[in-house]
């Protein structure tokens, strides 16, 4: 089990090679969550996540002989970039095995740092098995994503910055993958300020750390596809689990809808881009999953990474607009004769609705041959606007169904 001294040594080892990220107060989130919320913005690291810290610490300690062999790692994306960047910086060869489901942005970024990328399997654990096989086959040095003391100590350096930036904090909230990130930070936090409450957040679809604590040891959970792909690990670490037993006070879970909502609000309200795993702690705070918060409680919410595919952002924005009543699809049954569409659109225009899409369905309409179905996708101003627009259409005699 690592100690504070290991984390302090790691900070000196990586100093100058890893950015000290900001930790500003988030006024809007503070108001929404009923506490004083600060964001530790690890998404602003060079590689877009905290993983750079552990990789820099681990690779700095390799011997000349180990560096000559090259390194191999398994990752869903962020550890991959951390290892690839630091290997490139030190003039080492790196091979990274990533799940086939890894977002393209993470694959391309890893290649940009000079790594040979191998896509294998559907989960981190599949990639891990392949990476271990390559280790045996080629003699590479394997760099574990979380279950390694040097990696854990490197990740823990973030907590030293947090304590300097918000010295009177009451709570730290961070996501849980295999446990190296929060485990390392918890060691430093509890050693330097034991009163701080440490809360971990994992995906409710794959709660591997909660399962490990309940079972008394790491257990393998079924694979799950989640928006928080960076923490979709099926098994907690052997070296990280004891840290959670000793230093972590609480673990909560969030689902994908909650994470998506947090991503959208971080983007819209705080101008911060976060990936699923990075937004999970914010989701837990927004959904009031963590008890005991008061307006005086100072909470540091760690935004662990921002490597999210723009296509996913687009989908999240679209779903968020629907949820907030700023986009709606209405289906209307009308007589199939000239002028009916124009009349419908005139009513929509009178109610200040903006038409995004129009679709006519004649062939698949059940009922009278002379009827047609019009589907309208509209940009609206909120739930009340949708209600008034629907009422106006109904008043004109149209049968309206909201999709």
Catalytic annotation, residues: 51, 304
Separation between Cα atoms, residue 344 and residue 340, nearest integer Å: 6
CB 262 within 8 A of CB 282: yes
Taking each helix axis as running N to C, give the angle between helix 149-165 and helix 51-60, from 0 to 180 degrees, rounded to the nearest 10.
130
Separation between Cα atoms, residue 168 and residue 230, nearest integer Å: 30
Separation between Cα atoms, residue 204 and residue 222, nearest integer Å: 12
Strand ranges across the sheet with 327-335:
354-361, 371-379, 327-335, 399-402
Within 10 Å of residue 48's Cβ, how many Cβ atoms? Answer: 25
CB 268 within 8 A of CB 145: no
Q: Six-digit token pair at 210?
A: 């909660």
Separation between Cα atoms, residue 45 and residue 18, nearest integer Å: 7
Q: Which residues pair with 301 in a beta bridge?
A: 39, 173
Query: E-strand spans in 129-278?
Result: 141-142, 171-175, 197-203, 250-254
Buried b / exposed e across 152-184, counting CB within 10 Å, b at 16+?
A: bbbbbbbbbbbbebbeebbbbbbbbbbbbbbbb
Between the two ends of the chain, the Cα-to-Cα distance in Å is 54
User: What region does 402 belong to: left with phi over 0, alpha with psi -120 to 50, or beta?
Assistant: beta
């Amino acid at each position: 089990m690592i100690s504070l001294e290991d984390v302090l040594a790691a900070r000196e080892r990586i100093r100058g090679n890893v950015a000290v990220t900001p930790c500003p107060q988030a006024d809007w989130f503070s108001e929404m969550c009923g506490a004083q919320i600060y964001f530790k913005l690890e998404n602003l690291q060079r590689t877009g996540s905290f993983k750079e810290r552990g990789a820099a610490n681990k690779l700095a300690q390799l011997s000349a002989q180990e560096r000559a062999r090259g390194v191999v790692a398994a990752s869903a994306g962020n550890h991959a970039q951390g290892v690839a960047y630091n290997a490139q910086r030190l003039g080492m060869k790196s091979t990274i095995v990533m799940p086939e489901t890894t977002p393209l942005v993470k694959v391309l970024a890893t290649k940009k740092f000079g790594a040979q990328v191998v896509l294998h399997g559907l989960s981190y654990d599949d990639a891990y098995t392949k990476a271990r096989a390559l280790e045996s086959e080629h003699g590479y040095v394997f760099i574990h994503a979380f279950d390694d003391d040097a990696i854990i100590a490197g990740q823990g350096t973030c907590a030293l910055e947090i304590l300097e930036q918000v010295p009177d904090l009451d709570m730290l909230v961070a996501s849980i993958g295999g446990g190296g990130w929060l485990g390392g930070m918890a060691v430093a936090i509890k050693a330097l300020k034991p009163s701080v409450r440490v809360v971990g957040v994992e995906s409710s679809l794959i709660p591997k750390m909660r399962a490990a604590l309940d079972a008394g040891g790491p257990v393998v959970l079924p694979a799950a596809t989640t928006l928080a792909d960076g923490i979709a690990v099926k098994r907690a670490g052997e070296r990280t689990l004891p840290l959670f037993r000793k230093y972590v006070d609480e673990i909560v879970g969030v689902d994908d809808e909650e994470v998506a909502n947090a991503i959208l609000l971080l983007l819209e309200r705080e101008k911060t881009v976060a990936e699923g795993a990075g937004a999970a702690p914010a989701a837990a705070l927004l959904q009031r999953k963590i008890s005991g918060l008061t307006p005086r409680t100072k909470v540091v919410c760690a935004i662990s990474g921002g490597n999210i595919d723009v296509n996913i952002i687009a989908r999240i924005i679209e779903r968020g607009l629907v949820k907030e009543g700023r986009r709606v699809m209405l289906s209307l049954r009308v007589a199939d004769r000239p002028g009916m569409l124009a009349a419908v659109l005139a009513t929509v225009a009178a109610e200040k609705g903006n038409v995004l899409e129009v679709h006519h369905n004649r062939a698949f309409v059940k009922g009278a041959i002379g009827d047609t179905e019009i589907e309208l996708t509209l940009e609206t101003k909120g739930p009340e606007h949708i209600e008034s627009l629907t009422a106006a259409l109904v008043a004109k005699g149209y049968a309206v169904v909201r999709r």
